[in-house]
Structure 1
Amino acid sequence: MSRPEQTYRGSCHCGAVQFEITTDFPELTLCDCSLCRKKNALMVKVHESRFTLLAGAEQLAEYQFHTHTARHFFCKVCGIYPFHRKRVTPDNFGINVFCLDNFDPAGIPVRQAVGAAMP
């Protein structure tokens, strides 16, 4: 069961990268691809129209691997992964919910994405 739609603010650890998302949190996602396993992020999918980068575009580093379709972003200052552009749905972002201010993921269903088996 999703929550009421709300706007949430988030940032990297040092605050250089700041963003907002609007979502009702229908589910959260864990991915088993090699990168997601190592960064251990819990993500929510939001359409690009529901995402706003408020500050820090110049502080973002981008990492791509495998098909070079997904675009993973990290803060150059503190190294935190706040979000990525998704591979299968590139008009959506995967947001690291642990970067959201005062957010508790308890009670939201978690789906296991099978990224490791993607061709």
Structure 2
Amino acid sequence: MLHKGSCHCGKVAFEFKAELTGAVRCNCSICSRKGALLAAIPHDGLRVLAWGDDLGTYTFGNHAMAHRFCRTCGIHPFSEDVRQGGERSAYINLNCVADIDPTSLTIFDFDGRAV
């Protein structure tokens, strides 16, 4: 199924295809603060439709993840695995996807603080 999402103001928009049955709630220092419910998809399955200078990037720790945010409204719609080599993933914040009711998904807790 094709899903479309965006930040709050719409300057950062994206789409992806996936059959979603669950979401991951990570307790790392950034995910817990932004309250993200995540779905991992293959990186090449994420299509960013609008961004340009409006898309900011934040990294920390080992800099393996690029946490993307809108410079206008501050919402974090997705993150990207920026490791070199191997299969990369994108992590969609399902709270930013219009046609998904996060309460209908099974939530899996991930101990990101231990990573």
Give the TM-score taking structure 1 as reference length. Answer: 0.87
C-alpha contact 1:18 1:54 (8 A) present in aligned 2: yes
Task: Name the Cα RMSD after superposition.
Answer: 1.8
1:41 alignment partner, one of 29, 36, 42: 36
4+ residue stretches of structure 1 with deviation over 4 A?
87-90
Aligned equivalents of 1:65, 1:90: Cα separation in 2: 21
Q: Which residue of 2 aligns with 1:22?
A: 17
Aligned equivalents of 1:105, 1:35: Cα separation in 2: 19
Answer yes or no: is 1:95 the counterpart of 2:92. Answer: yes
The gaps in structure 2 that reach 5 residues or longer are none
Return the letter of the residue paired with 2:2: T
Q: Which residue of 1 aligns with 2:7?
A: 12
C-alpha contact 2:42 2:87 (8 A) present in aligned 1: no
CA distances 1:40-83 after superposition (whole Å, capped 9, x unpaired): 11111111121100111321110001111111000001000000
Is the deviation greater in 13-22 or in 90-99? 90-99
Percent identity at matched positions?
33
